[in-house]
Every structure is written in C-alpha cells, then in structure tokens.
Structure 1
Amino acid sequence: MTAEPPAGTPGTLPAALARHAAERPDRAALVTADERITWAGLDAASRDLAAELVARGVSRRTRVGLVMENGVDWAVCAFAIMRVGAVLVPLSTLLRAPELEQQLRVAAVERLVLVDGFRGRDFRAEYGELLPRGAGDGRTPRLPALRSAWRWDDLKGRTAPAARELAAAMERRVRPADDLAVLFTSGSRGMPKGVVHTHGNALRAVAAGLPARCVREDERLYIPMPFFWMGGFGGGLLTVLVAGATLLTEAVPEPERTLDLLARERVTLFRGWPDQAARLAAHPRAAGADLSLLRPGSLPAILPPGRRSGPGARANLFGMTETFGPYCGDPLDRDMPPDAWGSCGTSFAGVQVRIAAPETGAGLPPGEHGEIWVRGPNLMRGVCGRSRAEVFTRDGWYRTGDLGHLGEDGRLWYHGRIDDMLKVRGATVYPVEVEAALLAVPDVRHAFVTGIAGADGAERVAAAVVPRSGVRLDEAAVLAAVRDRLSAFKVPAVLRVLPPGGDVPRTASGKVDKAGLQRLLAG
C-alpha cells in the first residue's frame, strides 16, 4: 500500500470546515479569475445560507440538487447543504431536460437550486416543464419527490436569523456514517447511476490519496474539472478541504486567462486535463508566465522539459466514482521502478484489491488477468435504487467491471473494461493495449480502439487515431509501426486517421461514445 494519509482527518465535512476556519481563517480556500474566498469566509457564508435553506424546509437527509458552474457560489451552496446533514446531488450543467429528469428521479431529489443559465443556455426555460410551479412549494406529476426549485439569485446573500440555532443543532448531529452526496457516474454505456457516499467514506478516500497526489497543506492546486464530476468535487473541493490547501479553478478555461490565473496565484500543482496542459505550454504567452513554483506531480507538459517524467514512468492514478476517486497510485513526483512503468501503482490505505475470474469470482494469482474487485471503508455506501446485495458480494467486494492484473509487487495493471474486451478468432484483445501501441507511433496524439463486426459477423479490431498538429499520418505507415509491437491478431483490421484537431463521438460527460465510435469506424 501507499503511504498513510494525514493523521487526524476529520470524519465529517462540518468538522473539517470548522478546523480550517479556526486554524487558517485567512488562507484562501477557493480562487477563480474574478473572485476568492477564505476558509473563514467559506465557513461564514455557508453557515448563513444553511440557515436560509433550513428555513425553507431543508432538513437532515433532504436531497438537494445543484445546477451551477464552478465558482465560489457553487462551493458556498454545496457546503451549506452538506454541513447540516442534507445530501448534495451535483448535477451537470451539460444535461438536457430528459437527462436532468432521469437523474432527479433516480436520486429522488426533493429540492433543487439552479442558476438561470450557463454558456448561452436558459435553464429556466429548458427545464420549465420539470419544475414546480409558483414561488412556494409544489409538486409536478413527472417528479413527485421534487417539492421546490429555487433560483440561486433568490437565495444568494439571504440569511434566516431565526433558523440559525436550528441549523447549528443539525450540524452538531452530523456523523461520519451520514450520507454526504449522490454523484452520478458518467459511463459511456448504459444509464448513469447515482452513487451514494457518506461523510466518512468520502473524506477517508480523499485523505488516503493525498500522499500519492502530492497534495500538501501549503498547496495551491489547479483543478478545472467541473465540480459536478468526481474530478472537480473529490479531486478539487474536498481535496483542499481535507488538506487545508487552496484550490484554483475556472468555469470556462481559456488559455490566456488560465495562464494569468496560474501566474498571479502562484500555482504549485497543475492537475488539469493533459490536452489543456499541452495547449498552455504551446501558447505564445506561456514563456512569459511565471510558473516557477510548479512542483513535480503536475502534468508533464506544463513543466520545463528537464523536469518532465518519461512516458509511463509515473503511476496512472486509477479509480472510479464508486471509490470516490483514485484508489491506486504511487507518488506522482517520482518515477516508479522501470519494470512498473505503465502500471496504476499500489492500493491506498482503506482499499483492498483482488483479481477474480469474471465467470466464477474465484481469486486469481499475481500475473493473471481478470476482473478487478475492491472493498473497504473508503468505498460508496451504495447505489440509488439498488439493494446492498445487488451492489456488493456477500463478503463486501464490489465488482468494478474493470479488467486488470496484480504484479508480484502488488501494483495494479489496467486492461480495460469487461464489456470492451474483444475476442478475435478466439483470442483476447484488450483495447488499451492496442491504444498504447498506437500512441507509441511518432506523431500520434490520440488513439481510440474498439471492436466492430466484419462481413462474416466475426469481431475485428478497429481504431481511430488523431495526429499531432500540423502532421499528416499515413495509415499504412501507422499499421506497419504497430505490427512491430503487437501480435498479428491485435493489429487493427480497420484504421481511420482523423484530421489534426479532430475527435471521436463523445457523450455529454466528455467520455468516448463507444457506439458512436463503432459507427464511425464501421462507416
């Protein structure tokens, strides 16, 4: 296992927030290009809003949905909900009305807070048929659990002094076993599921990952991922809550504004998107931006060439919504032993990992490929609408649906999803292995691999690649290069080179749309 997390991690969100408000009141908790808030300010603002929410009927275990872009307001509203024992349900600003309706129903959301719109969209108009009518409580036949939908502007800045005492009493009753949030997965197949996390399991999971992620108390961490996704919520907001650090974020990252923010706020750790890091590094203003405080553990592209790690030398942090983010990894500021390059590192404290035969569930020894199972106190409490027996095995294991193997040293190697595993002429092909071979070809920037049916109905390996900017790739040359790296049955039977800057079909959450990719390649 990796190093132990910091000792004394608070078991609840209000306890963690109270600690920082007392010990580091003037340290910035959250900073954007246009606003900032300290830990004392976040504590005070979320306390005031919590009283207002309680006055409006929010109580312990009430599920409150939130549709809002990244920023100080999101943090204030979310912390107000969670600190009194209500349950936060972050909802994507990308959702269309049918998608929102489905998630509100699955999570049984009772109250909804939303901004009027974002990036040119009018949420009140788009979602109008789903929302309760009138200013007071009400219900709609399509969403009988939803009692209220409040405009953020009608809540912002309001306080309810009469409810302060009740809100404070509710806060004192919050326990680690209480539900904290329902987070929706963003899978590429099937319907998103609502994953339920408690205060205790979420904060434990975050704390366990801090050593590998190199997040320290004095960190100024840049995370642009939306707060409604695990990367922004767990990897960003709750990470700085547990560490007592400062989070830098943006609602709509733009290279010049991002560089200005990073330089002005003296960023120490950049954990954005790899593509974003590459674009920033190539931007004309990058040379003049003072990013000298960036530490190892940041994405390599944005570090000076002499401080970058080699491909695969650092662990691929590995996790999922059900584990509240990464559950495997080695410290990102140092190279692993050469024979471990490409692995996901070792499991964090609080998580056990085993490899099981997908068909029987029997445990497999090191080196053998199978399904990854996990268990431990860092995992989710459950999934909305499913019994515990449907989610976990009798002895508490969660079957992830991921494929991998464990090395003799305990490091985990990932081989894709069970439903992505291909059978080509009876032999197993892991798409991630083929993608890795394609990415090793000079000037290939992105690679996407899936299976499609051939004329005889048999499965064939198919791939799409995107070249680096300004480069033309020849399909035959790419295939010739991967033949030197892969067995013949793993070499793509279909290869499509997309134009530079092109992309494959994606879901609303940004993941590759597998069905769309298959249609693209079959066509």
Structure 2
Amino acid sequence: MTEPIALVFEERQFTRSRLDALADGLAETLARRGVRAGQRVVLMSSTRPEFVVAVLAIWRLGAAVVLFSPAWKRGEAEHALAVTEPGHAVGDHPVLAELMPMVHLDEPIEPGGGPFPAPEPGADAVLVFSSGTTGLPKAVRHTHASLGAAVRHWRDALDLTDRDRIQIATPPSHILGLLNIVTALETGAWLRLHRRFALDAVLHHIEADRITVEMAVAPIALALASHPELESYDLSSLRYILWGATPVTPSVAETVTRRTGVGWVPAYGASELPVITCNPIEDVRLDSAGRAVPGVTLRVVSLETGKPVEPGETGEIQARSDSLMAGYLPAEATAQALDDGWYRTGDVGHLDASGRLRLTDRTKEMIKVRGFQVAPAEIEAVLHGHPAVADCAVFGIPDAADGEAIIAAVEPRGTADPDELAALVGERLASYKRPRRVVLVPEIPRLPSGKVLRRVLKERHGHAPGAAPATPA
C-alpha cells in the first residue's frame, strides 16, 4: 500500500517517512555541529518544508526550538538572542546569519537513519515570543508535555482526523502556525504549506486540493468577504472555516457564509495556553469564543477583588490546563502572568450559564495585530530615539482587517513629520508593528505616577479626523 502524502509545498510532496528521514539527517548534521540535549537552537526561516524538518530534527536531539519571526529586523533578533541565549542556529534568514553561525536550510539535507530517543516530556520543546503589558517581547517556554496537550486539545476541538486536508498560510513562527503543523502531522491530516499568503492561491487550492478545514485570521476573513469573484471558486469541500487569533467580526463572517455557504468556527487561545476555548462544531455561535475545550478549566475573577464571580458577571478570564506554558524568559516575568496556577489572560468577559465565553475588553495594554502581540513600549522606545519626539504613547483601536490598528500619539519637540516617524518604526521593527497612524498631540496624558492614560488617548485620537496616515510597509 502506498504511503499517503503528509505535506505539500508548491510542487514538492513529502510522506511522513520522508520527513522523518530528512529530520534524522539534519539531526545528525546538527549533532556534529555540537547540538546536545537541553540546549536551545534558534530557527529563523521562511515558510518551507525545511522549517518542519528543522523543528523535528532539533527535537530528535532533545534540544528546544527558539522560533524567530522572519519579519524581525536586527534589533528585534538581538533582543531575542539576549533573552534566550541559544547555543546554535538554523535557518535561511540573513539577519540571523549576521548574528551567529547558522546551518543554512538551503544546504542539501541527506536522509539519516536514526534512531533517536524520545525527548523527555518535561524538557523544553519550543520557545515562542509574546509581549506582555510592558517592556520588550518575552519568550514563552513550552515543554513537550504542554505542547503535546495543546495538540490533543486542538485536534479534538476541531474534530480533525486523517481524512482532513488543511492548508496553512500563516507564519509557522507564530504559535498558531506551529500548532497547526504539529497537529496535522500527529493526526495524519494532509497539509499544504504556502510560502506566503495570497488569497487567490488559497482559494484555488481549496478547490484543487479539496481542503476540508480552512484556517483564517481576521485579514484573511476580510479578504474573503470582499473578494469580487469569491462565488467562482468551488469551496464545497470545506467543513468549516476556523476564525482564530482575534475576535470574530460577525458582519464579515456572515458575508462569507452568505456568498459561499461555508460556516465558521471561532476559537480562542494564547501563546501561553494555545487552546482555551472553541465553539462546538455542531453548535457554533459567532458572538461567543466558545466553551472551554476538554482539558481546560476557565474561571472569571473580579477586576476589583480578584475573587471568582458568578456566571454572567464580568471580570478577567483565567485558565488552567496541562497545556499551560512552563514559564517565560526572562523568568522573573512568569509570576505576574499567574494567579495560584491560573493563567491570567488579560482579557475581560463573562461566562454564561452554559459555559460559553464572551470577550468584551482587555486589561493588558498589548496590541493584537493579525494575531501577533505587540507591546506599546517596544514601539515607544523607537520613537523616543528620534530627536523630534519629546514624549509618545502607543495604543490600539479596533480594526476589521487586522484585529487592532496601531496608533502612535507623539508630543513633538519642535517640528515632527508623522510619516517620517512611522517609517522609522518600520525600519527598526517588523512591518506589522508599524503605526497605522501617527497623531501629533500637545501633551501625553499621564497619571502622577507617570502611567500613560491610554484610554484618554483612544477617546481623543482613536478616530482623529485628518490625522496623517502611515501606509504599512
């Protein structure tokens, strides 16, 4: 019997046996370079099959994968290296190659024979980057046990089997992309990787590959809803489209369903606890993030007292599960994220009597753009370095396409050019961190303690007419 195809990329096809043999071969190469169990190995790569091979190879050796976004610039990568202190590097990115010796994924990978021992469940498997309320991005540590639990939760929540066919156009360096890849491999689902997101390519392959589950974030959903020729594609193979990373925009989801007949399944998670809730496949509500998936326990606590509240009452959402991260790097940031073993999501909402979660607000100041968490302090640090900036504050406002749009309020010193300031951020940081708009203000409102009153800025300038736009890079 012919072995089924596990992964497809452009015209290349890989069985699971082929992926495993290539992973064995790359593991042998990395071992010769000195990679050992317990070490950390940076992976900074474009989306390609070799990314998957590299993850598997690093795990073969009992080492941990440190995922760097290929969108990062040098300063972001330098910060991440300082936080995680990896001993080795693999990838295809020139920024990483400039910073440390790197095994390049363009080098031929010869299949190997193994075998390699299974990694310890409590050993670190992957470190992904996430921003908290302040400061620069932190590394989220997941062990093989916690990541394995997240994979089981995702498989069961989405009712995935080896009969499913999925495609991934979101970055695999993000927790959602990695989770989808690992879940597909573990489940035996057929998987297509896309080098980058292109809507017509995604639609073409739903039709040509008979995709059964489509993964979408807000920009993909908006692009689907506004596509002038959406009805010309045969999407009848889809069981549903998943909406993740940002809250559902009902009007967008309903437009896609009306035009295609395909429904949506909203889900909710975080880098720290990848799968928190998901709508039951047979009972979807667009106004809810769903119910806690089996294996995850939810509670809502009062914003004033920190004590659990009754169903229907609003407070901070907290979650507990075997899929919870092992902690952050820097380690001292971990305590703030936990409340007696419960993960503090920073999201505000309530649970109804049936256990459905509805999200209404955020307590954290981080901005969520296309599923990526952006710390205002990181952008503010760049802006403060410009001689024309006396003070500044960054905040997010709701955006149908990206989840949130980044707005930078700048108190100028003399004359300041909003476009120039936005471009400066685009040069120093990943493109998704570039402000959508820079607004010049006479003063940044602050409390006596120095804390920025971001809510005041949102009310005054969140939709400021005539504000100079900054075109995203």
What is the aligned partner in structure 2 of residue 5 from structure 1?
Answer: none
Mapped partners of 2:398, 2:230: distance in 1: 31
Using the TM superposition, give the Cα deviation of residue 70 of structure 1 relative to its aligned residue in structure 2, in angstroms: 1.0
Using the TM superposition, give the Cα deviation of residue 210 of structure 1 relative to its aligned residue in structure 2, in angstroms: 2.3
Q: SS in structure 1 opposite 2:106? A: helix
Mapped partners of 2:278, 2:69: distance in 1: 28
Q: Which amino acid aligns with 1:213?
A: L
| Contact 1:383–1:391 (Cα < 8 Å) also in 2 | no
Q: Which amino acid aligns with 1:508?
A: A
What is the aligned partner in structure 2 of residue 307 from structure 1?
Answer: 261
What is the aligned partner in structure 2 of residue 322 from structure 1?
Answer: 272
What do the CA deviations read for 1:305-337 (whole angstroms, capped 9, x no partner)?
Answer: 36344xxxx6631110000x221112245434x
Question: Of 109, 132, 137, which residue of structure 2 is paired with 1:157?
Answer: 109
Mapped partners of 1:365, 1:304: distance in 2: 37
Question: Of 78, 82, 96, which residue of structure 1 is paired with 2:55?
Answer: 78
CA 188–389 in structure 1, closer or farther in 2 if over 3 Å, else same: closer
CA 407–509 in structure 1, closer or farther in 2 if over 3 Å, else same: farther
1:59 aligns with 2:11: no
| Contact 1:268–1:294 (Cα < 8 Å) also in 2 | yes
What is the aligned partner in structure 1 of residue 390 from structure 2?
Answer: none
Q: SS in structure 1 opposite 2:266? A: coil
Using the TM superposition, give the Cα deviation of residue 158 of structure 1 relative to its aligned residue in structure 2, in angstroms: 4.2
CA 374–333 in structure 1, closer or farther in 2 if over 3 Å, else same: same
Q: Which amino acid aligns with 1:268?
A: T
TM-score calculated relative to the size of structure 1: 0.65
What do the CA deviations read for 1:240-288 (whole angstroms, capped 9, x no partner)?
Answer: 0232212222122223433333333221111133443553576566555
How is 1:97-496 mapped onto 2 (pairs within 5 angstroms)?
A: 97-115=74-92, 117=93, 122-123=94-95, 128=98, 130-131=99-100, 148-154=101-107, 156-158=108-110, 168=115, 171-185=116-130, 190-234=135-179, 236-280=180-224, 283=227, 286-297=230-241, 305=259, 307-309=261-263, 316-323=266-273, 325-332=274-281, 334-336=283-285, 342-387=287-332, 390-391=335-336, 393=338, 395-419=340-364
What is the aligned partner in structure 2 of residue 27 from structure 1?
Answer: 4
Mapped partners of 1:206, 1:394: distance in 2: 24
What do the CA deviations read for 1:31-60 (whole angstroms, capped 9, x no partner)?
Answer: 122322111111111011111111111110
Q: SS in structure 1 opposite 2:137? A: coil
What is the aligned partner in structure 2 of residue 497 from structure 1?
Answer: none
Mapped partners of 1:256, 1:514: distance in 2: 26
What do the CA deviations read for 1:60-91 (whole angstroms, capped 9, x no partner)?
Answer: 01100011111111111111111221100111
What is the aligned partner in structure 2 of residue 471 from structure 1?
Answer: none
Q: SS in structure 1 opposite 2:128? A: strand
| Contact 1:209–1:327 (Cα < 8 Å) also in 2 | no
TM-score calculated relative to the size of structure 2: 0.72
| Contact 2:44–2:69 (Cα < 8 Å) also in 1 | yes
Q: SS in structure 2 opposite 1:321? A: coil
What is the aligned partner in structure 2 of residue 93 from structure 1?
Answer: 70
| Contact 1:404–1:412 (Cα < 8 Å) also in 2 | yes
Taking only aligned residues, the RMSD between alpha carbons, in angstroms, comes to 3.5
CA 187–399 in structure 1, closer or farther in 2 if over 3 Å, else same: closer
CA 464–349 in structure 1, closer or farther in 2 if over 3 Å, else same: closer
Mapped partners of 1:342, 1:60: distance in 2: 45
Q: Which amino acid aligns with 1:364?
A: V
CA 360–331 in structure 1, closer or farther in 2 if over 3 Å, else same: same
What is the aligned partner in structure 1 of residue 411 from structure 2?
Answer: none
Q: Which amino acid aligns with 1:43?
A: D
Using the TM superposition, give the Cα deviation of residue 224 of structure 1 relative to its aligned residue in structure 2, in angstroms: 0.8
What is the aligned partner in structure 2 of residue 43 from structure 1?
Answer: 20
CA 258–514 in structure 1, closer or farther in 2 if over 3 Å, else same: closer
Mapped partners of 2:397, 2:67: distance in 1: 34
| Contact 2:239–2:262 (Cα < 8 Å) also in 1 | no
Mapped partners of 2:275, 2:57: distance in 1: 26
What do the CA deviations read for 1:372-403 (whole angstroms, capped 9, x no partner)?
Answer: 12122111111112159725657312222221
Using the TM superposition, give the Cα deviation of residue 193 of structure 1 relative to its aligned residue in structure 2, in angstroms: 1.0
Tell me the percent identity: 28
Q: SS in structure 1 opposite 2:75? A: helix
| Contact 1:29–1:38 (Cα < 8 Å) also in 2 | yes
Mapped partners of 1:66, 1:177: distance in 2: 21
Counting matched residue pairs gives 385
Mapped partners of 1:44, 1:465: distance in 2: 44
CA 27–410 in structure 1, closer or farther in 2 if over 3 Å, else same: same
Mapped partners of 2:155, 2:265: distance in 1: 14
Q: SS in structure 2 opposite 1:316? A: strand
CA 521–283 in structure 1, closer or farther in 2 if over 3 Å, else same: closer
Mapped partners of 1:509, 1:328: distance in 2: 29
Q: SS in structure 2 opposite 1:59? A: coil
Runs of 5+ in structure 2 lacking a partner? Answer: 244-252, 369-375, 377-394, 402-424, 440-456, 468-473
Using the TM superposition, give the Cα deviation of residue 94 of structure 1 relative to its aligned residue in structure 2, in angstroms: 0.6
Mapped partners of 1:283, 1:353: distance in 2: 38
Larger strand proportion, structure 1 or 2? 2
Mapped partners of 1:363, 1:509: distance in 2: 39
Using the TM superposition, give the Cα deviation of residue 186 of structure 1 relative to its aligned residue in structure 2, in angstroms: 5.2
